[in-house]
Amino acid sequence: MTKLLNTAEAATFLRVSQASIRRWADAGLLPTRRVGGRRERRFTEPDLVQFLNRGSGTQARESGINVGGVMVPTPGHLATFHSTDAGALRLTVPFLAEGVRSGEPSFLVAMDTVLQRYEEALAQQDGVDLAAAVDGGLFKVVRFHGTAQDALATWERLFADALSTGATKIRVVGEMVSERAMFPSEDEMLRYEEAFDVMFKRYPGVVLCQYDVRAFGGSSILRALKAHPDLYTLRLGTFLN
């Protein structure tokens, strides 16, 4: 007999919030059964595994997004690594600029001097009116505080809003030095990365998580690599700057 998991157990299995499980079930994306007089949700492990794998199917990956000359299938959640300030912008500035030019919702998680470098670099890109993109909701600087689940809830709201406008592709750059300051610990940030990899399989887009190797230790870099398995099928050298 197939074991049935409750909402909390399904959330633990997928490493997402219980709110995400309920939302996906109500939308018909995640198969669910109703049991008992209270009609409580129950899930099976095979259904959860199928849900995980659905985002890597052929149909979902027919169209991609160009990143540094590599066509990245969507959904794609990638880690990039850099050791210089110039290297940090090599992939991400053209990636965001093309998103703005194409009318694709683009998000940047950055603050302080890191954000300033992006604003200055994007202002120099042909065909990019950053102020107009911000006003039109095509470019958003994102910040969050609290736990991994708080951050995931923020992204789900932003992605839902973006898709409600008819967008078919989403672009995200996360500067992890900035993101680390938004969490109570580096460990919590990395738990968020691991959970985000599961959550983003439901969305059409590419995410670049930027790791400055001058700021993170070897164990954190290893966890980052494990949290971005989409990277393994691509030309790895493209994402080392």
Say whether both 231 and 157 belong to one domain. yes
From 17, 32, 54, give the residue that closes a domain: 54
Is 152 in the same domain as 71? yes
178 and 127 both lie in a single domain: yes
Do residues 38 and 127 both lie within one domain? no
The pLDDT, as a whole number, for residue 56 is: 45
Catalogue the long-range contacts made by 48-55 (C-beta closer than 8 Å, 24 or more residues apart). 48/5, 48/10, 48/13, 48/14, 51/14, 51/24, 52/14, 52/198, 52/201, 54/201, 55/201, 55/202
H or E element that contains 99: helix 92-102
Residues 6 or more apart in contact with residue 165 via CB below 8 angstroms: 105, 137
Q: Say if residue 38 is in the same domain as residue 25.
A: yes
pLDDT of amino acid 1:
61
pLDDT digits (tens, 9 = 90+) for 100-138: 999 999 999 999 999 999 999 999 999 999 999 999 999
The predicted structure's pLDDT at residue 62: 46
- Domain boundary pick from 18, 37, 54: 54
Whether residue 115 is found in the same domain as residue 205: yes
Same structural domain, 40 and 81: no
The total number of structural domains in the chain stands at 2
What stretch of H or E contains 151?
helix 148-164
Q: Do 25 and 74 have their domain in common?
A: no
The pLDDT value given to residue 54: 56
Residues 31 and 76 in one domain: no
The CATH number of whichever domain residue 184 belongs to comes to 3.40.50.300
Q: Whole-prediction pTM value?
A: 0.78
pLDDT digits (tens, 9 = 90+) for 44-58: 988 888 777 654 444
Co-location of 88 and 171 in the same domain? yes
Q: Which domain holds residue 40?
A: 4-54
Q: What is the pLDDT of residue 211?
A: 98
Query: What residue ranges of the chain have pLDDT lower than 50?
Result: 55-62
pLDDT confidence of residue 132: 95
Looking at the fold, whether 67 and 127 belong to one and the same domain comes out as yes
Nearest C-alpha neighbor of 196 from the set 227, 220, 224, 219: 227
Q: What's residue 22's pLDDT?
A: 85
Q: Domain holding 45: CATH number?
A: 1.10.1660.10
Query: 205: which 2 tokens?
Result: 């887009």
pLDDT for 29: 73
- pLDDT at position 227: 95
In this structure, the answer to whether residues 67 and 49 fall within a common structural domain is: no
